[in-house]
Amino acid sequence: MAKRRRNESPERQALREMVNGYLKENPVKNGTDVNALMREMMSVILEGSLDGEMDEELGYSKYDFRNKETDNSRNGYNTKTL
């Protein structure tokens, strides 16, 4: 287990360990690898943030068909009339 840095939260420490584990399995060799890694990380962060925002706004999570007060679905396959 990595040594905890001064004033580092447990969440940040867990994130650091996760990233270090990923980098051990997928070494970064050049700038292209760094760019690809950053793009992937940003994609995961943005998708997670937007999904969380949508859950909060609608009051139910994606594919949750039991705990909602509407017939609407978030799976993207319903027909819509504009």
pLDDT in tens, the chain (82 residues): 556 677 889 999 999 999 999 999 999 999 999 999 999 999 999 999 998 998 888 888 877 767 667 666 666 565 667 6
Containing structural domain, residue 43: 12-58
Whether the CA torsion 47, 51, 52, 56 is positive or negative: it is positive
Q: For residue 65, is it within any domain? A: no
Task: Compute, in degrees rounded to 10, the torsion defined by CA atoms 64, 67, 69, 71.
Answer: 30
Total domain count for the chain? 1
DSSP single-letter state for residue 81:
-
| Within a domain: 53 | yes
Range list of β-strands (E), 1-82? none
Count CB atoms within 10 A of the CB of residue 7.
Answer: 6
The Cα 23–Cα 8 span in angstroms is 20
Is residue 3 one of the residues assigned to a domain? Answer: no
